[in-house]
Structure 1
Amino acid sequence: MDDDASTDVFDVVSQATRADILRALADFHRSEGADARLAYNDLRKRVGERDSGNFTYHLDRLDGLVEGGADGYRLSRVGMRVVSMLRSGFLDTDWTWGPVDAPGECWTCGDDLCLRYEAGALHVTCGDDDHALALYVPPSFLQSQPRDVVAERAGFLENRWGSLTRAGVCSECSGRVKGELELWHGDPEHYVYHGDCHHCGFQHVLPVGLFLLGHPDVLAFHFDHGVDVRTVPFWTLDFCEPGAESVVSRAPLRVRVVVEAGCETLSLTVDGDGEVVETERT
C-alpha cells in the first residue's frame, strides 16, 4: 500500500464542499440503504451548493470515494471508511468530555475515579495526571453511548484491544503485531507486553494482566463464576494492575498472573513471547 495515496485522501477531503458531499451521501445511505443512489440534483441540494459547475468539480475530485452512474451517486467502500473516520472525532484535538464518575479506585493512591476525555484519549483518573490511565476510544463512542454504561463498554473495547494484540493483529490498522514481554521501569516496576505493528508502527503496550484478560481460560474461569469479564472495567480487576504479576524465572523469562474469583484461583504462566505455557486452576 502506498502511504502517499493515503495522504492524498486527506488532501481531497480537507475541502469543505467535498466533505459535505461525503456526509450528505452517508446520511442518505443511513435512511435509504447502502446500495441506494442519489440523483445529482438531489445531492447538490443536500449539500447546499448553488453553483453546479463548482459542485461538479468537487464531485469529480472524489473519484474513488464516490461511485457515480446514470442513476445517481453513492459512497464507495473507501468513501464509507473515510466518513467513519471523519465522524469518529479522533481528528478533533480540542474535543473534551466529562468528567463522569467511574467505578473502582486509583491503583496508585486509592482515591475515587472519574472518566475524562481530552487530548485525544479517555482518561481514567483520580485527578492526578501522573496516576491516569489513557484509553484510546473515539469521541463518537462517548457521544453515542449512555453515560451510565460508558465505563463497562470502554472496558469491553480495551478487552478487545488486548485480544487482538495477543492474536498478532493491530487494533488500529489490522496489520501484523509482533512483540514480547519487557520490564517497564515505572512505579511500580512491572512487566508489560510490548507489541510493534509492522505496518503502521503503532506501539501496543499492555500490563500483563490486561494482555491476558480475553484469554479463553480467563473468560471461562469467570464465566463459571457468573461473570462476563469482557464487560468489567479492567481497572477494577486486581490481576490487571501493573505489578500484580510475579516472576517465575528470568532465563528463560516466565511470568505468572493469578486470577481470583470466589474461592478459586487460576494461575497463568506466560513466556517471553507472551504465550501462555501453563495454566493451573485450584
Structure 2
Amino acid sequence: MADEAGSTAPASDAFQALGSESRMAVLRSLADDEPKTFSELFDASSEDTTAGFAYHLRQLTGLFVQKRDDERYELTYAGRAVVRAIPSGTYTESVDREDIGLDDDCPFCGETALAATVEDNVTRVFCRDCDSPVLRLSFPPSGYRGRDEADLAAAFDAHHRHRIEAFGDGVCPECGGVVTARLRPVEPVESDDEASTDEDHVPIQAAFDCETCGSSLRCPVSLTVLSHPAVVAFYHDHGVDITSRPLWNVGSEWRERRISRDPWCLGIRTRLDDEELHLYVARDGRVVDARRQSVTDRETESEETNDASEDGTTVDGAAA
C-alpha cells in the first residue's frame, strides 16, 4: 500500500496551540465524540466574549479540531489523542510507590521474595533476598490507579506482554511505526581474551527499535516466543497455562544457546515432564522452526550435564 500524502505541522506549533486552559476546555467538551456548534462550545467555556473564544478555537482548528460541513466541530485524530492523554496522566502525573510484594519466586535464588517499587512511573522488580534486579519497565500513570497489589501486578504483566508481541510483529506499540528487530549480546564485552568475547558465551537478548519514534525494548529472547503457537500448545498439552506465569519468572525450565553462526541461529529449549520443545530463532527474531522431542533417561542425564554451560532465561535487564 502506498504512503498517503498528508500535512505535517511543526511540533512547536502543535504544543503551542495547547497552551491555554480555554483551548483544553474545548477539547474536553468534544471528548464525548458528539460534534458541537460554536455556540455550544462557547457556552461550555469560561470565556467572557465570543471574540475571545473564537480566537482560541481558531488556534485549535486544523490541528486538533476540524469544522464539518454542517458547521459543527469535532476532534481530529490528534485531538482525540490529547483528550485521552489528559485523564491518563501521561504528561501530568508522576507515580511513586513503596515496595509491592509479589507472590512469585525469584528466578535467581528461588526464594519467594520478589518485590516491585515504582519511581516516576517506572516499575522495578527485584529480589529482597538476593538483591538481584529482575526487570525495569515503565507503566502509564493511569495503570496504577484503582488496583490493589495483585491486580496491579497482573495489569503490568499483561501490558508488557502485549508490548512485546507488538514489537515482535514489527509494529511499534507506541506510534504504530515500523520496528526493526535483532538478536545481540546483552552487552559488549571488552577483553583481550578471545573466549570471553565469543558470543557463544555471552547471553543473547532481543533488541527492538522503532524507526519512527525511537521507542525500544530489550528483553530475553524467550520472552518473545511465549505467545508462539508451538509454545502455547506445548504447555497446554502438559496442563500448564503459560500466560499464567508472569514475565518476571516464566519458569526455570527455559534455556537459550547459540547453536549456529552461518546461518546465525539461537536455540531455545523448554522441558515439561518427559518432553522438550526446541525453537530455532534467526538473528532477526523470527522463529524459523519448532520441534518436539521425547527425552530418554540417557538424554536427560546428558542434558543435565550440559545445562551448566547454557544460558538460563530470566528477565534480568529487561528494559524499555
Fold match (TM-score > 0.5) = yes
Residue matched to 2:22:
17
- What amino acid does structure 2 have at the position aligned with 1:267? H
Q: What aligned pairs does 1:103-252 form with structure 2 within 5 A after superposition?
A: 103-108=103-108, 110=111, 112-126=113-127, 131-143=133-145, 145=147, 147-185=149-187, 189-230=202-243, 232-238=245-251, 244-252=255-263
- What amino acid does structure 2 have at the position aligned with 1:190? P
Residue matched to 2:50:
52
CA deviation digits over 1:106-135, x for unaligned, max 9? 334546223333223232234699715122
How many angstroms does 1:280 deviate by?
Answer: 1.8
> Is the Cα contact below 8 Å between 1:181 and 1:273 reproduced in 2?
yes
> Is the Cα contact below 8 Å between 2:268 and 2:278 reproduced in 1?
yes
Q: Secondary structure at the match of 2:145?
A: helix
How many angstroms does 1:145 deviate by?
Answer: 4.9
Residue matched to 1:257:
268
Residue matched to 2:65:
66
- What amino acid does structure 2 have at the position aligned with 1:101? G
> Is the Cα contact below 8 Å between 1:154 and 1:233 reproduced in 2?
no
How many angstroms does 1:93 deviate by?
Answer: 6.0
- What amino acid does structure 2 have at the position aligned with 1:48? S
- What amino acid does structure 1 have at the position aligned with 2:52? N
CA deviation digits over 1:134-165, x for unaligned, max 9? 22321122225565322223222222222222
Q: Which moved more, 1:166-175 or 1:249-258?
A: 249-258
Q: Give the 3 Å change call, closer, same or farther, for CA 263–51 of structure 1 in structure 2.
A: farther
Residue matched to 1:86:
86
Q: Which moved more, 1:196-205 or 1:257-266?
A: 257-266
- What amino acid does structure 2 have at the position aligned with 1:171? P
How many angstroms does 1:181 deviate by?
Answer: 0.8
CA deviation digits over 1:214-266, x for unaligned, max 9? 2222222233345543453211212698xx41222344332222234455432
Q: Give the 3 Å change call, closer, same or farther, for CA 91–161 of structure 1 in structure 2.
A: same
* Cα distance in structure 2, aligned partners of 1:224 and 1:7: 55
Q: Which moved more, 1:246-255 or 1:152-161?
A: 246-255
Q: Secondary structure at the match of 2:291?
A: strand
> Is the Cα contact below 8 Å between 2:103 and 2:112 reproduced in 1?
no
Unpaired stretches in structure 1, ≥5 consecutive residues: none
* Cα distance in structure 1, aligned partners of 2:188 and 2:245: 25
Aligned: 1:277 with 2:288: yes
The structure number with the bigger radius of gyration is 2
How many angstroms does 1:185 deviate by?
Answer: 2.8
Higher relative contact order (CA 8 A, sep 6+): 2
Q: Which moved more, 1:59-68 or 1:256-265?
A: 256-265
- What amino acid does structure 1 have at the position aligned with 2:65? V
The normalised TM-score by structure 2 is 0.72
> Is the Cα contact below 8 Å between 1:96 and 1:118 reproduced in 2?
yes
How many angstroms does 1:209 deviate by?
Answer: 0.9
Q: Which moved more, 1:150-159 or 1:106-115?
A: 106-115
* Cα distance in structure 1, aligned partners of 2:154 and 2:132: 23
* Cα distance in structure 1, aligned partners of 2:16 and 2:226: 40
Q: Secondary structure at the match of 2:222?
A: helix
Residue matched to 1:76:
76
